[in-house]
Amino acid sequence: NAEPFQVTVREDNCIIVSLEASDVVSSSSVYVVKIAGESKNYFFQFEEFNSTLPAPVVFNAKYHGLYYIVTLLVVNSNMVSKSARSITVLTKPLPVSSVSIYDYKPSPETGVLFEIQYPEKYNVFTRVNISYWEGKDYRTMLYKDFFKGKTVFNHWLPGICYSNITFQLVSEATFNKSTLVEYSGVQHEPKRHRTVPYPPRNISVQIVPINRNNWEEHSGNFAEESFMGPQEIIRKEKLSRFSANPPEIPAANTSVAWPDYRYNSTEYETTSQPYWWSNEAESSEGEEEFVNAVSSDYEANDVNTSGKLTPEPPSFLPVQMVLTWLPPKPPTAFDGFHINIEREENSTEFLTVSEDTHKFIAELKEPGKYKLSVTTFSSSGSCEVRGSQSAKTLSFYISPTGEWIEELTEKPQHVTVTVLSSTTALTSWTASQESGGNSTIVSVVSLTCQKQKESQRLEKHYCTEVNSSRSLIENLVPGAQYQVVVYLRKGPLVGPPSDPVTFSIVPTGIKDLTLYPLGPTAVVLSWNRPFLGVFRKYVVEMFYFNPSTMTSEWTTYYEIAATVSLTASVRIANLLPAWYYNFRVTMVTWGDPELSCCDSSTISFITGKRPPEKT
C-alpha cells in the first residue's frame, strides 16, 4: 500500500522528486526522472541503492507559473526503458511588485485604471486575482484583460471606499481532465481608492424679495444663512480711528469661523467669512467701549460746508436666495454636499451640509455678481475624502435696486460676417426672445498675426483678442484672416460663446510695377506695396511662347517672402532675345485657403535683338 513516487514544488521554485518503495521493480534496474515543460527535456538518474531508497532528485525550475510533466522511467538490464507513471506540477508565479490606481478619466465615478508591475522574465500567468473590500463587503474576482500591466476596471460604485486592494498573479494548467491553479503571494502594499461620487441633480436658484413685515415659515430640510452688507464693517473701522488705544475687537469678517472643506483631505479647516457674509446673530458688543466715538447722529449723515445735512443714498434692499437640488443619481455613496458661493470673483465661501439637506436659504445684503455650485462629497471609510465634479454652475446678478438677472444659457446662432470694404466688416446673428440678452459682445482676433515674426509683423490691432459692443468691425487689414465669436450679455452677465466664424480680407495687390531692361536676355522688375496690408509672399510670374513645348502659359519664376519694406525688386535672366513677354506680381496671404491679388498687375516687354557677331 506504499505511495507512488512523490513530486513537490518548494518556495524557491525547485521541483523535488522522491522515489518510493512501490516504485522499485528490481534492484538491478536503473531509475530515471524525465522533466518536460521548458524548451528542452531534462533527465536525472537516481543514485544506485540496495535496501535504502536513494536521495530525492532536485530540479531548479527556471520558469515561474509554468506546468512541468515529471515522468519516472525504469531501465532494465537490457537497456529497455519503460514509463512507470507521470505527474504534472505547476510552479507558483512571481508576485506583483507595485500597484498604481488612477481615475478612469472618461468615467471617474465608476472606473479606475489599474497599473501593476511584476517580473516579466521567466514569469508565466494567465489571469490576475483582484481582492478588495467594497465598504464592508469583501470582493474577489479573476481578471485577464491586462495589456502591458494595465487595465480599466469600469464597474465600481460611485463614492465607495475600496480598501485593502491586492493583486495576485494566477497560473492555470489542465492535464488529464484535471485543472491545476497556483496563486502568487502578495508582496506589494495594499491599496485604497475612493471613486468620485455623482453630482447633485436639478440645481436651481430663486431670488425672493424680503417682506420685513411678513416672514414666511419654511418647512423641509434646509440650511439658512445671512449675507450682511459692508455698512457695519465700515462703521466699525470708522469708530476705531477715534480711539487712542482701541481694544482688540474681532473684525466683522472674522467673527465667525466656517468649516472649509478641502479636496482630498479628511480634515476640515476653518476660514474667515468675507465681509458680505456675516451671522445675523452677531452682536455689536464692544462698540460702547470707544470713548471718542462719533455720535450716531453724525455717522448716518454727512455735514457739508454750508451746514446742511446731506442724506445718504438709499441702501440696498436685501433679498432672499433659495438654492435647491436633488440627491445624486443612485447608486451613489455620499455623506453631504458642499456649497460654493462666489461674489464678484474675489470672495468665496464654502459651506458643508448633511446628506439629508436639499435646500439652502440665505439672505443677500450686497448687490453684485454671484456664482453658485453644489457638489457631492463622500468621506466615510479609510479612503481620502472626495468631491464630485460640478454638474452646473449657476450665475446671476443682483442690481443695486434688487433686480434679479438670471444667467444666460443660449448662445447666438447663425453668426455671419459680411466684408464691407478692405478695412471694415459687419457681423450679424440671431437669438431667440427667450434668451434674455439685451446687448452683445463681439470678440475679434487675427489668425495671421501670430504666424508672422514679431519683427516682420505688419498688423498689431487684433493680435490679441479685442472685444466690442458694436456689430461693425473696423481697423481691419487687407490680406489678414480673422476669427469672430459673439456673446450675449445682460447686465454684467455674459452668455456662452457662439460658434467661431472665420473670414478673410483680400489683399490690395502691388502698385507701380516698373521694368528696367538689362540687355536682350535680362530685365529687372521693381514695384511698391501699399502701406496697409498683410501678406505671406510675392509671386513673380511670366507669360511667353515656349518654343520647346510650343505652348504659351503663365509660369512661376520666383517667390519672395514678405518683409516690412515697401519696395521690392527681382532680376529675371535667361530670356530669349527678340521675344514677347508678360510679367505680373501678385501678393499671396497667410490664410487657409490662400488669397491672392491681383492678376491685373502686369507689364509687357519685347526683348532686344542680339548684336551681330563679328567675323
Confidence of residue 182 (pLDDT cuts 50, 70, 90): very high
Q: How many residues does the chain have?
A: 615
Q: Which cell goes with 206?
A: 430663486
pLDDT given at position 268: 37
- Could you identify the residue written with the cell 453644489? 374
pLDDT value for 248:
37
Domains 98-195 and 319-406 share a fold: yes
Q: Where are the beta strands (DSSP E) in 37-77?
A: 42-45, 57-60, 67-75
Q: Which residue has the higher pLDDT, 159 or 308?
A: 159
What pLDDT band is residue 313 in, cutting at 50, 70 and 90? low
pLDDT of 238:
31
347-383 residue pLDDT tens: 778 889 999 999 999 888 888 888 899 999 999 999 9
Residue 329: count of CB within 10 angstroms of its CB: 12
Q: Can you tell me the mean pLDDT for 27-56?
A: 86
* Partners of 473 in beta bridges: 425
Q: In the prediction, which pLDDT does 574 show?
A: 86
CA dihedral 299, 303, 307, 310 (to 10 degrees): -110
Cα–Cα distance measured from residue 598 to residue 414, given in angstroms and rounded to the nearest whole number? 32
Contact 369/397 with Cβ under 8 angstroms? yes
Q: Do residues 407 and 393 make contact, with C-beta atoms less than 8 angstroms apart? A: no
pLDDT tens, 216-259?
444 344 455 544 333 332 223 332 333 333 333 333 333 333 33
Could you tell me if 321 and 207 are in contact, meaning their C-beta atoms sit under 8 angstroms apart? yes
Sign, CA dihedral 564-569-571-572, equals: positive
- For 272-286, 330-344, 363-377, which range has the lowest pLDDT when averaged over its residues? 272-286
Worst-scoring range by mean pLDDT, 43-52, 71-80, 504-513?
Answer: 71-80
> In sequence order, what E strands does 447-549 have?
466-468, 472-473, 481-490, 493-494, 501-504, 511-517, 523-528, 537-546
Q: Please report the beta strands in 63-200, taking only residues with DSSP state E, as ranges in sequence order.
A: 67-75, 81-90, 98-103, 112-117, 127-134, 137-143, 150-153, 161-175, 178-183, 191-194
CATH code: domain 413-452+461-505 is: 2.60.40.10
What digits encode the pLDDT tens for the residues 128-153?
Answer: 999 999 989 999 999 888 888 899 98
The pLDDT of residue 212: 56
Contacts of 424 (CB under 8 A, 6+ apart): 472, 473, 474, 476
pTM above 0.85, yes or no: no
CATH class of 511-607: mainly beta
Give the residue extent of every domain in the chain: 6-90, 98-195, 319-406, 413-452+461-505, 511-607
186-222 pLDDT tens trace: 999 999 999 999 999 999 999 888 765 544 444 344 4
Q: Kind and range of the H or E element at 441?
A: strand 439-446
Residue 462 CB coordination number (10 Å): 20
Residue where the block lists cell 469672430: 484
CATH code for residues 319-406: 2.60.40.10
Q: What is the pLDDT of residue 530?
A: 85
The CATH class given to the 98-195 domain equals mainly beta
More confidently predicted of 405 and 301: 405
Q: Name the strand (E) or helix (H) holding 361.
A: strand 359-364
Lowest mean pLDDT among 91-105, 219-233, 312-326, 433-447: 219-233
Q: Are the CB atoms for 387 and 197 separated by under 8 Å? A: yes
**pLDDT above 90 (res 127):** yes
**289 DSSP assignment:** G
- For residue 395, pLDDT beyond 50: yes
CATH architecture of 6-90: Sandwich (2.60)
